[in-house]
Amino acid sequence: SQQGEEDPQALSIQEGENATMNCSYKTSINNLQWYRQNSGRGLVHLILIRSNEREKHSGRLRVTLDTSKKSSSLLITASRAADTASYFCATVGRGSARQLTFGSGTQLTVLP
Amino acid sequence: NAGVTQTPKFRVLKTGQSMTLLCAQDMNHEYMYWYRQDPGMGLRLIHYSVGEGTTAKGEVPDGYNVSRLKKQNFLLGLESAAPSQTSVYFCASSVGGTNTEAFFGQGTRLTVV
């Protein structure tokens, strides 16, 4: 079964608003990563947060990690129409550190 | 910079036919992965490799075989295609180790009729 599950499955917001996506996972991790996929394209890495980190920023992205709850969130601030895409969390587990396991993704639509 | 290149981009197979998908990376990465993506299922790991000459099974390996004879290439084979293997296949590579990002190819859309 997949390690990560994103919530919500779909999210629609207006341009300029913030978008928050959540990811829950099942087993202990070494790190958690977020990826973006535009329709019909491959995935692009956005940000990586290690298991000993609680928060990380990159431009308009803010990622938090709560290992006690086995959950992470991705916040995109001041969203743009170009942010419309699917967003996936992926985990690298302890003991299976060579496998990168993905969740089912959140489809984000930013309306102009 | 080519990055990760998948060949072919589209293919239609008849049930029972065989084919090989090629993944090539020019970044000297140690790790390579094959995933399949189905609607609503996210990406599921088929097989992966942590170095030249090594392969390992992922979450959904049945019906597929792989080879990593050269560091830059990772081949995914379907010996006898089934309609259930209709999917979009993605290859990815990474430097290796744990705290590294993966780089993805553009995908191969495979339809088995």
Distance, CA of A59 to CA of A76 (rounded, Å): 9
Query: For all residues of chain A together, what is the average pLDDT?
Result: 91
- Residues 6 or more apart whose Cβ sits within 8 Å of residue A81: A15, A110, A111, A112
Contact B42 A99 (CB under 8 A): no
Neighbours of B51 (CB within 10 A): 13
- Residues 6 or more apart whose Cβ sits within 8 Å of residue A103: A2, A3, A4, A5, A6, A23, A25, A88, A89, A90, B42
**Which residues are bridge partners to A66 per DSSP?**
A71
SS3 of B72, please?
Answer: coil
The reported pLDDT for the residue numbered A92 is: 86
DSSP H or E stretch at residue A47: strand A43-50
Contact A42 B33 (CB under 8 A): no
Contact B4 A45 (CB under 8 A): no
With CA atoms as reference, the chain A residue closest to B30 would be A98
Contact B105 A42 (CB under 8 A): yes
Question: Is residue A67 predicted with pLDDT exceeding 70?
Answer: yes
- From chain B, the residues in CB contact with A105 under 8 A are 42
Contact B101 A48 (CB under 8 A): yes
Instruction: Tell me the average pLDDT across A59-79.
Output: 97
Q: Which stretches of chain B score pLDDT less than 50?
A: none
The reported pLDDT for the residue numbered A1 is: 44
**Sign, CA torsion B5/B7/B9/B14:** negative
Residue type, A27: T
Q: B46 CA to chain A: closest CA distance, Å?
A: 11
- Residues 6 or more apart whose Cβ sits within 8 Å of residue B105: A42, B3, B4, B5, B6, B23, B90, B91, B92
- From chain A, the residues in CB contact with B59 under 8 A are 1-2, 101
Distance, CA of A65 to CA of B54 (rounded, Å): 33
The reported pLDDT for the residue numbered A96 is: 59
Question: Is residue A89 predicted with pLDDT exceeding 90?
Answer: yes
The reported pLDDT for the residue numbered B29 is: 95
pLDDT for A30-59, tens place per residue? 899 999 999 989 999 999 999 999 999 999
The reported pLDDT for the residue numbered B1 is: 64
Distance, CA of A33 to CA of A39 (rounded, Å): 20
